[in-house]
Amino acid sequence: MLRNSVYMEELDAFTYREKIADEGMVLIPAGAIEQHGPHMPMNVDVLLSRTMAGAVAQEISAVVAAPIVYGYKSQQRSGGGSHLTGTTSLDGATIIDIAKSLTLEFADHGVRRIGFVNGHFENYQFLYEGVDLAIRELKKSGVEDMKVVLLSYWDFVDDATISELYPEGFTGWDLEHGGVLETSLMLHLYPGMVDMSRVDDIPPATLPNYDVLPVRPELTPDSGCLSSAANATAEKGEILLKRASAGMAEALQNEFRM
């Protein structure tokens, strides 16, 4: 138990109440249990969303809620596909209910400023829907001052950083699953959980610009990754963490006029 921690589950209830009193803010990490190739664990999205939220919380004096561990179904064009063993997902309605329930629960604690820090590409619209439903319900019950901001950390990696870290060319965030971004962050934050000797150094996946159900497994590379992580480094991860967390902190400060 740590009274100075930014992480809710590490606090005693009395310290938590003090931290959220007087316009305190709560950040909710949203991850997934999803394969990330042979070189990284399946909880990458949980670890990175929680750590990103923690870095932001330290900048703006917020509390980080325990993360949403399971996410929406991995899509073939952005996560390799839910057909890959190990990827363990929830359906959209469940993600919506979780986002709605958490928003209402924190509102019941007196929290009126919430940020969802998303670390799994496919979660976003379902988090949005759940938050929207919660805010509508709160307004009907007379709570008019709730405000929620939804952020995906990669959206705060600017063009200058992309040019700096991807001198060989950038394939786009959809093909970055298990690639340089996530692997670099893991090398910086959790190096013992990455085995670079197992990186499958392949060209970016070639996928259609539409979806087919059921998925065609042969379209996903055998590794499950959609681009190579061979150029990932801990130094790149440090840059990504600093710039993405700074961008999110600035966005929250602007929205909440902190």
Mean pLDDT of 83-96: 98
Checking if the pLDDT of 240 tops 90, the result is: yes
Omega within 30 of 0 (cis) for the link into 167: no
pLDDT of the residue at 149: 98
Is residue 69 a contact partner of residue 33, using CB atoms and an 8 Å limit? yes
* DSSP type of residue 93: H
Contact 236, 167 (CB under 8 A): no
- Which residues are designated catalytic? 34, 36, 45, 120, 122, 177, 182
Tell me the pLDDT of the chain averaged across its residues: 96
Question: Tokens 């670099």 — which residue?
Answer: 184
Per-residue model confidence (pLDDT) at position 258:
78
Whether 165 shows a pLDDT value over 70: the answer reads: yes
List b or e across 86-101, with b for residues whose CB sees 16 or more CB atoms inside 10 angstroms.
ebbbbebeebbbbbbe
Give the count of alpha carbons within 13 A of 58, CB side only: 10
What is the tens place of the pLDDT at every residue in 188-234? Answer: 999 999 999 999 999 999 999 999 999 999 999 999 999 999 999 99
Model confidence at 80: pLDDT above 90: yes
Task: Determine the CATH number of domain 8-255.
Answer: 3.40.50.10310
**For residue 1, is pLDDT > 80?**
no
Q: Is the dihedral of CA 16, 19, 22, 26 positive or negative?
A: negative
What confidence score (pLDDT) does residue 23 get? 86
- Taking residue 13's Cβ as centre, other Cβ atoms within 10 Å add up to 8
Structure pTM? 0.96
For residues 43-68, average pLDDT:
98
How far apart CA 57 and CA 62 sit, in angstroms, is: 4
The SS3 assignment for 7 reads strand
The pLDDT > 90 percentage for the chain reads 95
Domain boundaries, the chain: 8-255
Structure tokens that stand for 125 in this block:
């619209």
Say whether pLDDT at 237 is over 90: yes
pLDDT band at 112 (very low <50, low <70, confident <90, very high): very high
